[in-house]
Structure 1
Amino acid sequence: MDLGVVAGEASGDLLGAHFIAALKQTRPGLRAAGIAGPRMRKAGVEAIYPSDTLAVNGYVEVLRHLPELLWIRSRITRYFLHERPRVFVGIDAPDFNFTLEARLKQAGIPTVHFVSPSIWAWRPERIHRIKQAVSHMLVVFPFEEQIYRDAGIPVTFVGHPLADVIPLQPDTAAARTTLGLDAGPVFALLPGSRLSEVTRHARLMLDAAVRILRHHPDAQFVLPAASEAAGRLVRHAMQGLELPLHLLDGRSHDALAACDVALVASGTATLEAALFKKPMVITYRVPALTAYLMRKKALLPWIGLPNILARDFVVPERVQEDATPENLADDALAWLDDDARRAAAIETFHTLHVSLRQNASARIAEAVQPYLEGA
């Protein structure tokens, strides 16, 4: 085997697909296997387990799924130790991957980790565990490089693959035509890719949409469901509501390109919304115990990637008890009524996009190639 790989959830699957495609440009016969989602399988990765088996977050949810996660990690570790790939690449899923990477590295298999955990936002002590587990760290944000250099960990800033594939000037009119949307304001609702996130956020966003509709009777709403199961949860949450909602099968980029404002669950989707230059409201809910523990360990006042990267509250964040339909609706409507604020946010997002647009897939392939060649 050339490459062992583990990607967690939908965002890791998307990043991994770009990464595999770049490697295959120079190694068309590349054999890769591990934990992969539909995009990586389409790129040619043999999926021993599907990515969504790792799509859990928060202390409470992880504890609930811990026996299954430990069993899968034990099985996939034995698989890689038997197959001995030339290099292992862990894509995100840090809590799962770092233990696996440490075991493989100890056995003489080089380990590359793609996408640093947010040690600059919380739990900075993880840097010591990372040093034991990772042969080479690939980071997507420029400020992360110095953190790893200072810790003595080989590191390469590669930029973000999404910044390469999302156009600097998205075509909103074309996206609206593709989705069959009428004239009037368009709001994108992105409750998250994990089923637990959809359960917590879908009805919250739909109730906010009802309130928006009272102020703008011509408003339309698009909600990209990350999976069939997510779509079922959204349809269940829709019961009793009358909304001009376009429920999409995936197609989050079409939804973001088409919208005027987005309501987005914190995560990679907030960065995607920023790259599409869309004003947004970031929200997130977790169990109370998880929220308490995370607040105690937090280093920054922001949770959303656009705000973290800008080091400012460019967009509003509504978290936990502050995440109400009224607040989300008011924040979304405020974007429509303030041209100057909207223009300033778009300019900030454009600057961010340019800084992350580094031909990431080629940089990743260049960093991993020496390991594939046994160097």
Structure 2
Amino acid sequence: MSADSSPKVAMVAGETSGDLLAGLLLDGLREKWPGVASFGIGGPRMQERGFDAWWNSERLAVHGYSLELVQKLLGILKIRRQLRQKLLADPPDVFIGVDAPDFNLGLEGQLRAAGVRTVHFVCPSIWAWRAERVNKIRASAGHVLCIFPFEPDLLAKHGIDATYVGHPLARVIPMQPDKAAARAMLGLGAGDEVLAILPGSRSAEVAYLARPFFLAAAQLLGQRPELKIVVPAVERQRGRIEAVARQCGVADRVQIVSGQSHAVLAACDCTLIASGTATLEAALYKRPMVISYRMHPISWRLMKRKQLQPWVGLPNILCGDFAVPELLQDAATPQALAGAVTQWLDAYTRQPDKIHTLEQRFTELHESLLRDTPKLAADAIEKILAKG
């Protein structure tokens, strides 16, 4: 590529989160090179920015079990093989794998071996578990774009070049959320005591967490009959969540809304929440939370063996201690969950300093993640291309 020409950029993004990240990166690339050509596997946000999707990112999503799962995986492997052949036949100036490490790292390694520059956007969480993955990253990615500030130093210790570009959620969520406006949107009163329940967006998460969460809600409603409970549900899980709420006897006491998780987090006083990206969103909204997770016992034992830190929730990992409670697996009983939520709700009147301290910590966390992600990511790509 000449100094005054626009690059050809191949990208692969899987699922909605990868499409969002890749869309931000494309914003930065298009600002720097209006004529940039981008192609590969992507979703609607990428396509809105002129991305040529040879396959839609939904093709990489894995749902279902048994024969359906096997057929899906075989189809994904076929797509990866065909994509590799196309990219090797007409190499791009750079290949950027956006998240989806199981798909992207292997492809990046093959392309890099053939002389294609490779970048991986979002460092796999080797600091939390599966530390052995660092060897695959070193072999596959010429550069890593990181969304957490501690990751570049960690990767440097393993001989991997990396750039911190900030977390995109920090740009989306306001530093000072408008609780009153969010409550008005959801039909809640300014003086209501509000609990948000987020049992996850995946089928397995809802299967393991919805029941203990709603049984905890039943206990809380028995103690605090005026408590308002709001549950944001992705459309594909709403029916299952409603069914579990009925089974637990709280269907007429909880408000289930389609999506709107950000409005619900902005409106609540506390959230009972499944471990995952949603916990970081709750922290950016400066909300007290109780983090929980449950899974199949065998999966739990395997994960515990590979866990590298005492924390599971992202807010605690980033704060470096148990800023908020975690109740996991066998500890996630309805009684324990209800008790932990009660402590936060009571703190508003009995220990307001505790709430204020947490809000300050989460504000500092927000500031540490807030960067101009599109520009920083595009600048890093420009430096990689300039190396020749």
Q: Answer with 1 or 2: which has the greater Rg.
A: 2
Give how far 1:107 is off: 2.7
Q: Which residue of 68, 72, 77 corresponds with 2:76?
A: 72
% same residue: 44
Q: Which residue of 7, 10, 30 corresponds with 2:13?
A: 7
* Residues matched between the structures, number: 371
Q: Which residue matches 1:146?
A: 153
Q: Which residue of 20, 23, 27 corresponds with 1:21?
A: 27
Work out the CA distance in 2 between the residues paired with 1:2 and 1:255.
Answer: 41
- 1:220 maps to a residue whose letter is K
Q: CA separation of 1:316/1:245 partners in 2, compared to 1, >3 Å: closer, same or farther?
A: same
Q: Which residue of 227, 238, 242 corresponds with 1:235?
A: 242
Q: Does 1:32 align with 2:38?
A: yes
Q: CA separation of 1:217/1:21 partners in 2, compared to 1, >3 Å: closer, same or farther?
A: farther
* Partners of 1:265 and 1:283 within 8 A in 2: yes
Work out the CA distance in 1 between the residues paired with 2:107 and 2:359.
Answer: 40
Q: Which residue matches 1:307?
A: 316
Q: CA separation of 1:32/1:341 partners in 2, compared to 1, >3 Å: closer, same or farther?
A: same
Report the 3-state secondary structure (helix = DSSP H, G, I; strand = E; otherwise coil) of the residue aligned with 1:281.
Answer: strand
Q: Which residue of 161, 185, 196 corresponds with 2:193?
A: 185
Structure 2 unpaired stretches of 5+:
1-6
Work out the CA distance in 1 between the residues paired with 2:311 and 2:135.
Answer: 24
Work out the CA distance in 2 between the residues paired with 1:153 and 1:69.
Answer: 30
Give how far 1:133 is off: 0.6
Work out the CA distance in 2 between the residues paired with 1:217 and 1:234.
Answer: 21
Q: Does 1:165 align with 2:172?
A: yes
Give how far 1:42 is off: 4.3
* Partners of 1:188 and 1:256 within 8 A in 2: yes
Give how far 1:351 is off: 1.0
Q: Which residue of 125, 133, 141 corresponds with 1:126?
A: 133
Q: Does 1:260 align with 2:260?
A: no
Q: CA separation of 1:250/1:15 partners in 2, compared to 1, >3 Å: closer, same or farther?
A: farther
Give how far 1:279 is off: 0.5
Q: Which residue matches 1:358?
A: 371
Q: Which residue matches 2:214?
A: 206
Give how far 1:368 is off: 2.1
Q: Which residue of 80, 90, 93 corresponds with 1:86?
A: 93
Q: CA separation of 1:373/1:176 partners in 2, compared to 1, >3 Å: closer, same or farther?
A: farther
TM-score (norm 1): 0.89
Structure 1 unpaired stretches of 5+:
none
Work out the CA distance in 2 between the residues paired with 1:257 and 1:291.
Answer: 32
Report the 3-state secondary structure (helix = DSSP H, G, I; strand = E; otherwise coil) of the residue aligned with 2:232.
Answer: strand
* Partners of 2:9 and 2:94 within 8 A in 1: yes
- 1:74 maps to a residue whose letter is K
Give how far 1:144 is off: 1.1
Work out the CA distance in 2 between the residues paired with 1:135 and 1:153.
Answer: 7
Give how far 1:372 is off: 6.5
* Partners of 2:12 and 2:97 within 8 A in 1: yes
In terms of mean alpha carbon deviation, does 167-176 or 4-13 score higher? Answer: 4-13
Instruction: Write out per-residue CA displacement over residues 315-369 of structure 1, whole angstroms, 9 at most, x where no aligned residue.
Output: 0111111112222221112101122222221111111111111212221121123
Alignment of 1:285-364 (within 5 A): 285-338=294-347, 339-364=352-377
Q: CA separation of 1:174/1:291 partners in 2, compared to 1, >3 Å: closer, same or farther?
A: same
